[in-house]
Structure 1
């Protein structure tokens, strides 16, 4: 029921229902995840953080865990904690190394840490490895080569 409320955008009802059900089942990873999702969607990022953290600590199925990593990491980032976000995304990428959404959010966290060059390098490599755009693919080798050292010049 809560999942349906979330999927339908009824975040306030989902939030209150999750909080009510958590009183009876405080060790439910799924309920903590739903509460985090609802808080996050309502713009209550600071309130979402402990629910995400608890959901991950209690253990979620892979699909929900990936989403919780993205939600928590993104929330850390936008609440001024890009270092925590980067550490979380590193852990998540060890579990899910092929997840390009996690990689993309990780790149944003690196940017917010002041690691602009590293973030751009990773973004360029991700782009060239995932795009179907023939114009970009025709320069894939060059883009990947230059991405390795964006400050290099050749005379």
Structure 2
């Protein structure tokens, strides 16, 4: 029921229902995740954080865990905590190394930490690994080479 509300964009009803059900079932990772999702979607990022944290602590199934990592990491980043976001994304990427959404959000957190060069390098690598654009792919080796040291010059 709550999941359907969230999927249909009825975030306020989902939030209220998740909070009500949490009173009777405070150890439900799923209910904490639903509460986090609803708060986040309503623009209540600070309120979403403890629900995301508790959901991950209690243990979620893999699909929901990936989404919770993205939600919490993104929320850390947008609330001015890019270091926490980066640490969380590192943990998430150890578990889900092929998840390009996690990689993308990780890059944004690195940028917010002032690690622009590393963020751009990782973005370029992600681009050449995931694009189907023949114009980019025709320069794949050059992009890989230059991404290794963006400050290098040759004379």
Q: TM-score, normalised by structure 1?
A: 1.00
Matches within 5 A, 1:7-26: 7-26=7-26
Pairwise CA distance, 1:133: 0.4
Other-structure match for 2:154? 154
- Structure 1 moving runs of 4+ over 2 Å: none
Matches within 5 A, 1:68-87: 68-87=68-87
Q: Deviations over 1:34-58 (max 9, x none)?
A: 0000000000000000000000000
Question: RMSD in angstroms over aligned alpha carbons?
Answer: 0.2
Pairwise CA distance, 1:132: 0.4
| Residues paired across the two proteins, number | 155
Other-structure match for 1:95? 95
Matches within 5 A, 1:2-81: 2-81=2-81
Q: Distance in 2 between matches of 1:140 and 1:101?
A: 21
Q: Distance in 1 between matches of 2:115 and 2:16?
A: 39
Q: Deviations over 1:26-76 (max 9, x none)?
A: 000000000000000000000000000000000000000000000000000
Q: Deviations over 1:85-127 (max 9, x none)?
A: 0000000000000000000000000000000000000000000
Q: Distance in 1 between matches of 2:129 and 2:26?
A: 42
Structure 1 residue 113 and structure 2 residue 105: aligned? no
Q: Distance in 2 between matches of 1:58 and 1:82?
A: 24
Runs (5+) with no aligned partner, structure 2 = none
Runs (5+) with no aligned partner, structure 1 = none
Other-structure match for 1:142? 142
Q: SS where residue 26 of structure 2 aligns?
A: coil
Pairwise CA distance, 1:24: 0.2
